[in-house]
């Protein structure tokens, strides 16, 4: 066993106070996200997406946040991928943002819905042409004999779609995670972290805010 118990760090970057935090969870998320983006991290949109398969086995992977608003968080993927299959079976997900430089985490739980095709097309055609070809070339999550097979498919598609617009594949599009719970975590000295939980109540989109024990 490799013992890592003596690796310790004190968290002293800031505090999170329920009396000054926003009453709306998405307003609070926006404030924290903009502060993180202003720090010029390597990849500000990175987040962990957790889904559950038909056997109740949790899965996690890193994806990129492509938009957010008062209705939730948007990302894009292949509908036939593992994550797409999981969401078709159980349309619920958890997102996790870990901004270690600021000693902050945000945990999101919610239901998931597909975006309409027009929104998917608009984003798809905003991507670099090579990324559009990649969406066609990759049969995401399926077994692949070797990398040469994938690259050969990519170059075949490059020739096939030469000098024309690349259409949106039927199996590719976007999802919106509509949150019903967000938790904001700010690291604290002596492991006395600050945790604020927001839970959506009723049909009027009101949020109930409360402090949790660390």
Output the CA torsion sign for 141, 146, 152, 158: positive
117 is catalytic: no
Catalytic residue among 153, 191, 195, 208: 191
Q: Give the alpha-carbon dihedral of 7, 13, 18, 24, to 10 degrees.
A: -100
Dist CA 89 CA 85 (whole Å): 6
Q: Which residue, among 211, 202, 199, has the nearest Cα to 24 in the 3D structure?
A: 199
For 37, phi then psi, to 5°, come to -65, -35
Q: Which residues 6+ apart lie within 8 Å of 14 measured at CB?
A: 102, 103, 104, 186
Of the candidates 181, 182, 179, 196, the residue with the CA atom closest to the CA atom of residue 14: 196
For 33, residues 6+ apart whose C-beta sits below 8 A from its C-beta are: 44, 68, 97
> 3-state DSSP call for residue 184?
strand
CB-based burial, 16-40: b 16+ in 10 Å, e otherwise: beeeebbeebbebbeebbeebeeee
By annotation, the residues acting in catalysis are 191
């Amino acid at each position: 066993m490799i013992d890592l118990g003596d690796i310790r760090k004190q968290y002293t970057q800031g505090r999170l106070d329920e009396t000054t935090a926003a009453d709306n969870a998405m307003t609070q998320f926006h404030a924290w996200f903009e502060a993180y983006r202003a720090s010029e991290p390597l990849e500000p949109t990175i987040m962990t997406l957790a889904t559950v398969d038909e056997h109740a086995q949790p899965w996690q992977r890193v994806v990129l946040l492509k938009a957010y608003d008062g209705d939730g968080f948007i990302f894009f993927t292949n509908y036939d991928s593992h994550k797409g299959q999981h969401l078709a079976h159980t349309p619920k997900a958890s997102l996790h943002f870990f901004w270690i430089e600021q000693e902050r985490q945000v945990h999101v739980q919610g239901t998931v819905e597909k975006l309409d095709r027009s929104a998917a097309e608009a984003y798809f055609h905003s991507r670099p042409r090579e990324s559009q070809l990649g969406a066609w070339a990759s049969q995401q999550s399926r077994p692949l004999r070797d990398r040469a097979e994938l690259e050969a498919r990519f170059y075949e598609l490059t020739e096939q779609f030469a000098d024309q617009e690349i259409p949106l594949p039927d199996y590719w599009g976007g999802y919106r995670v509509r949150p019903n719970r967000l938790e904001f975590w700010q690291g604290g000295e002596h492991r006395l972290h600050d945790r604020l939980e927001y839970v959506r109540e009723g049909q009027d989109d009101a949020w109930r805010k409360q402090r949790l024990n660390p």
